[in-house]
Chain A
Amino acid sequence: AQSVTQLDSQVPVFEEAPVELRCNYSSSVSVYLFWYVQYPNQGLQLLLKYLSGSTLVKGINGFEAEFNKSQTSFHLRKPSVHISDTAEYFCAVRDSGGSNYKLTFGKGTLLTVNP
């Protein structure tokens, strides 16, 4: 069984500051990893995903994430945040083999960018 832990439920930062949202996962098999963003009163939108290849993945809106297999982590980073980045961010994992195609989500991290 898979699980996802987002270590911080809330992360407040000032505009133009760098941010890192942490995500750790556990799985007995190889995985695919995803970050989704949910803006207020909206559904989830895919930010980026890791399937294979380079462990540094770039996504939309200037976000990137690095897959670290030894630490079972997939932390999300942005070097300089904007007010418009205020949203809830969800890390998710999915088995890369077999018939299990379910996404398992973390509880989410609320990023609040202050002026």
Chain B
Amino acid sequence: ETGVTQTPRHLVMGMTNKKSLKCEQHLGHNAMYWYKQSAKKPLELMFVYNFKEQTENNSVPSRFSPECPNSSHLFLHLHTLQPEDSALYLCASSQDGRVEGNTIYFGEGSWLTVV
């Protein structure tokens, strides 16, 4: 039990599909994050939401669309992805994205394969 729950854990989708990844945190945090983890590359920050407001978009292609309806939930909507988008997508949360030194807690990730 990590406090940050991601579903689905595994997803296979075609390049023309539309799917969504879901993240829920049970820690009472106010900041939520999406990271991408590809083989042999550092973790890449994709999006940050702080108090439901998007505060960071790290030049992510528009085929990835985040949604944060409240501080506990974060979605990543996927549309017309490419095979190179196959990766582990990690959701994370922290108490307040603006406070330096806040510990970031990660979920177990969603493995995405684009075929």
Residue positions of A touching B, CB distance < 8 A = 4, 32, 36, 41-46, 49, 51, 90, 94-97, 99, 101-108
Contacts and interface: CB of A to CB of B under 8 A. Distances in A.
Contact of A102 (B56, B90, B108): B56
B97 A101 contact: yes
Contacts of A49: 101, 103
A90 B35 CA distance: 14
Contacts of B102: 101
A51 B100 CA distance: 9
Contacts of A51: 101
Interface residues of B, number: 25
Majority SS of interface residues in chain B?
A: loop
Which residue, of B56, B98, B106, has the highest number of chain A Cβ atoms within 10 A? B106
22 contacts: A41-B108, A42-B108, A42-B109, A43-B2, A43-B6, A43-B109, A44-B43, A44-B106, A46-B105, A49-B101, A90-B43, A96-B101, A97-B100, A99-B98, A102-B48, A103-B45, A103-B104, A105-B43, A107-B40, A107-B41, A107-B42, A108-B42
B81 interface: no
A79 to B, nearest CB: 25
B107 interface: yes
Contacts of B106: 36, 43-45
- Central interface residue in B4, B42, B97, by most chain A CB within 10 Å: B42
Contacts of A46: 103-105
